[in-house]
Structure 1
Amino acid sequence: MKGYLLLVFILLILVSCGAKQEKTSPTVEDISESVYASGVVKSKNQHLVYPKVSGIIQELYVTEGDVVAEGAPLMKLDNEAARLSTENARIAAEYARVSANAEKLKELQASIDLARSKKQNDSLLLVRQRNLWAKQIGTKVELEQRELNYKNSVTAYKSALLRYNDLKKQLDLAAKQSQKNLQISQTMTDDYTVKSETKGKIYSVLKEEGEMVSPQVPVAIIGDADDFIVELQVDEFDIASIKPGQKVLLNLDSYKGQVFEAKVYKVNPAMNERTRSFTVEASFTKAPPALFPNLTTEANIVIKVKKDALTIPREYLQDGSYVTTEDKEKVKVKTGLKDYQKVEIVDGLSKDAILVKPAK
């Protein structure tokens, strides 16, 4: 009796095991092969804002969510030293202006006029002395004295002109240099107002009033208000398959169970040596109703698509190229495209075959 019960028990186990064995047949459907990537959503043209100078924030002009124009002020830094420097430069520029040195030029102009008059007078005296000498009146010494006086007058006149021109050049140069120094100082003063380089939305203000900032530390994040992209990281082993125009299927943690679509438009050719991955950028073609910067995403970049392919579930494939039929025969097959659930059978199997799922 015990032997009979044991036999029945064994038979029940065998029947139950046989009942649990799963079967399937190949199906004809579309299949695509894709590359996995992870990444984040970013506002288009999203970037960090850095101040040009160090200082303490005196006043914030914006807050998160504000939309700003190009060149709009974001915050003001303490600039008392820069203000004083600009004031000094302005005073120096005023002092160096040519018009401010008009008296010096007038003084030299008067010297030129006096030298010109003396030259003209000495010229007349020389002509008169030559006429007298032609009539045998006067002495040779007097004539030579008149000639010497005239030459000295010409030299004095030319020297006065040179001094005037040299002073004018010096004043012009000093005025231009002072004006440039003033412009540089004003530019440095402007640097104490942190401005937006582009039109966009303020997504984050990273500092508060009273905090110290420097050119090495960002103070805000700005990007397009309505245009978003996906920045994906692709493993170096897969990057050769990625090209602009490929379709991207996206899953976002903020939208569980929904699939969104994008299209690759840029493949960064430089590899990140730390992560051994490449950055790929894609633009949304089917986007969720609301997006925010830095949302995480997982994606599949579709690299190949085939319609009406003969497919089986991947778990029915053994050792990469074998399947087991209903009569326990192990059949070698040739595979094609693969996704995360199915594999294409290119050769070795008909769509009428019945396959048995291998035991784990």
Structure 2
Amino acid sequence: MTRAPSLGRRLAVAAALTKLFLPVAGALPPAAVIAVAAGPALAEPAAAGPSVTVTEARTTEIVQSVLVAGSMIAREEVLVSPQVDGLSIVAILAEEGDRVAQGQVLARLDRTSLDVQKAQNDAQIARSEAAIAQANAQIAEADANLVQANNAFDRTKSLRDSGNASAETYDQRAAAARSAQARANSARQALAIATADLALAKAQGRDIEVRLARTEIKAPQGGIVSRRTAKLGATASMLPTSEPLYRIIADGAVELEAQVAEVDIPSLKPGQPVAVMPAGAKEALKGTIRLIAPEVDKASRLGRVRVALDGNPPVAIGSFARGTIETGRKHAVTLPLSAITYTRSGPTVQTVKDGKIATRKVTLGLSGGGRAEIATGLAAGETVVARAGTFVRDGDLITPVAMN
């Protein structure tokens, strides 16, 4: 029921009407003016609801992605250290950024002292070979003397048995036979010693040859030189604490080592495509997930993934990069994320029908690009409040304003 205006308000309305019809007031009887003023109460127009921005649920393609960030690193880094100690560097043959092949000489060490040792060893080998030849000659001579001494002893023994040789002669021939046997044994021992000396000299010669070969610092695997610490005149050291002379990116393969939130790890798997954007790059590089670390950091709750780049593009290791990993793509009913409210009972939206608000529970699916898939609870074409958290409740009347 419409409430009648107060007397003061009715008089004000009457005054306004009087001014409006002042040019024709003379043609109207005073009673008419009074009738207008005292007529039935004027009904007030219904108050309009507040303006609220709304949007429609519509079917679009939604792409869900996981964003990761990290640094570019070498997939495998080859450390090149000297394998001979105490020699100075006399030549640098590779620089940072050079692509080198397996076995290529990167630097050379001073080999003067090793050349002297090799000359001495060669002389030792020659001496041992001569000693062996001499020992063989002594053996031949000792064997001949032994045969002669044994024959003489045998004859003397026969003569003594027949009484034609004295005991003294017998003893002399027996001693001569034993002496010849001893000299033959000594000659054979000398041969054994000379043979051992030759084997030792040859082993030392092989060791010197190995050390001479190691004076050429070679690349154990092909790739790109990422760092050179070798300096002319520096002494090569094999100590574990010494810095390697060279660092090589094996096969030039660079990849992204990125950190990812632990909640996103279950949606990742090796082989998934990744768009990698290094710092300063204008176009993303193509890559794939090569490895997912099985461990999550207890403090940061972040895991690690390794992303291999297709084609091994020239990217500086250590540089920052971001990666976008697509984890889902489909056509579905979607809404802007701003239209969704998250409550203890689950996500909800505020639908608008005939200007009236109604809250409805929904089930979400994929999310990406600022939109979320509405799996259940809402159909395409339905209108909802565009910005969740607007101070309207179920049953409120609003004036819908389409979202730009």
Give the TM-score range, shorter chain. Answer: 0.7 to 0.9
1:263-282 superposed Cα distances (whole Å, 9 cap, x missing partner)? 22333446678977555333
Identify which of 370, 377, 382 aligns with 1:348. Answer: 377
1:85 offset after TM fit, Å?
A: 4.7
Q: 1:106 corresponds to which letter in structure 2?
A: A
What corresponds to 2:100 in structure 1? 68
Contact 2:78/2:221, CA 8 A, preserved across alignment = no
Instruction: Verify the 8 A CA contact 2:149 2:176 in the aligned structure 1.
Output: no
2:285 to 252, 257, 260: 260
Whether 1:314 aligns to 2:337 is yes
Distance 2:340 2:236 in 1: 60
Provide, for residues 134-160 of structure 1, a one-character-per-residue CA deviation record: whole Å limited to 9, x for no partner.
xxx426x8599759956972x555544
Distance 2:120 2:297 in 1: 49
- Which position in structure 2 is the counterpart of 1:231? 257
Instruction: Summarize the Cα distance change of 1:180–1:264 in structure 2 as closer, same or farther, 3 Å threshold.
Output: same
3-state SS of the aligned residue for 1:281?
strand
Instruction: Answer whether contact 2:350 2:357 (CA < 8 A) is retained.
Output: yes
Aligned letter for 1:171? A
Q: Where do residues 202-221 of structure 1 align in structure 2 (5 Å cutoff)?
A: 202-211=225-234, 214-215=237-238, 216-221=242-247
Deviation at 1:114, TM superposition (A): 1.0
1:6 paired residue number:
none
CA contact (8 A) 1:334 1:347 kept: yes
Q: Deviations over 1:193-223 (max 9, x none)?
A: 3211112333443444345554421333323
Partner residue of 1:333? 362
Once the two structures are TM-superposed, the CA of residue 328 in structure 1 deviates from its matched residue by 3.5
In 2, Cα distance between equivalents of 1:90 and 1:274: 64
Pick the aligned partner of 2:153 from 122, 125, 139.
Answer: 122
Q: Tell me, yes or no, if structure 1 residue 40 matches structure 2 residue 71.
A: yes
Superposition deviation, residue 74 in structure 1:
0.9
User: Per-residue CA shift, 1:176-197, capped at 9, x if unaligned?
Assistant: 2222223223333443432111
CA contact (8 A) 2:79 2:244 kept: yes
Unpaired runs of at least 5, structure 2: 1-47, 391-404
**Contact 2:62–2:366 under 8 Å retained in 1:** no
Q: Which amino acid aligns with 2:375?
A: V
2:206 alignment counterpart? 183
The equivalent position to 2:323 in structure 1, one of 283, 289, 299, is: 299
What is the rounded CA distance, in whole Å, between the counterparts of 2:312 and 2:54 in structure 1? Answer: 39
Is structure 2 residue 202 aligned with structure 1 residue 174?
Answer: no
Q: CA deviation at 1:60?
A: 0.8
> Hey, what does 2:141 align to over in structure 1?
110
Q: Provide closer, same or farther for how the CA distance between residues 318 and 279 of structure 1 changes in structure 2, counting only shifts above 3 A.
A: same
Q: Deviations over 1:241-298 (max 9, x none)?
A: 5432222222222323x3333122333446678977555333334887x544444321
Out of 207, 210, 221, the position equivalent to 1:198 is 221
Aligned to 1:283: 308
Alignment of 1:76-95 (within 5 A): 76-78=108-110, 80-95=112-127
Specify the SS of the correspondent of 1:188: helix
Aligned partners of 2:72 and 2:104: how far apart in 1?
26
Cα distance change on mapping 1:25 and 1:221 into 2, 3 Å: same
Q: CA RMSD in A?
A: 3.9
The match for 1:58 among 90, 96, 101 is 90
Q: Bigger shift: 55-64 or 244-253? A: 55-64
Determine the structure 2 residue equivalent to 1:4.
none
Q: 1:284 is matched by which residue type in structure 2? A: L
In structure 2, C-alpha distance between the alignment counterparts of 1:287 and 1:62, rounded to whole Å: 21
Secondary structure of the structure 1 residue equivalent to 2:381: coil
Over residues 60-105 of structure 1, what are the superposed CA-to-partner deviations in whole Å (9 max), with x where a residue is unaligned?
A: 112234332222111123455555555554444444x333443344
Alpha-carbon distance change, 94 to 32 in structure 1, aligned in 2, over 3 angstroms: farther
Equivalent residue letter for 2:339: Y
What is the CA–CA distance in structure 2 between the aligned matches of 1:192 and 1:278, rounded to whole Å?
Answer: 44
DSSP 3-state at the match of 1:312: strand
Q: Work out whether residues 43 and 225 of structure 1, in 8 Å CA contact, stay in contact via their aligned partners in 2.
A: no
Matched residue SS, 1:38: strand
**In structure 2, distance between residues paired with 1:174 and 1:248:** 66
In 2, Cα distance between the equivalents of 1:111 and 1:27? 110
Of 251, 258, 267, 2:277 maps to: 251
Report how many aligned residue pairs link the two structures.
Answer: 332
Tell me the residue number matched to 1:7: none
Which SS does the other structure have where 1:255 is aligned? coil
Deviation of 1:116 after TM superposition, in Å, equals: 2.2
**SS of structure 1 residue aligned to 2:200:** helix
Deviation of the 1:119 alpha carbon: 1.4
The yes-or-no answer on 1:222 pairing with 2:251 is no
Amino acid at match of 1:32: Q
In structure 1, what residue type is equivalent to 2:387?
K
Give the AA of the match of 1:119.
N
Cα separation, 2, equivalents of 1:202 and 1:263: 24
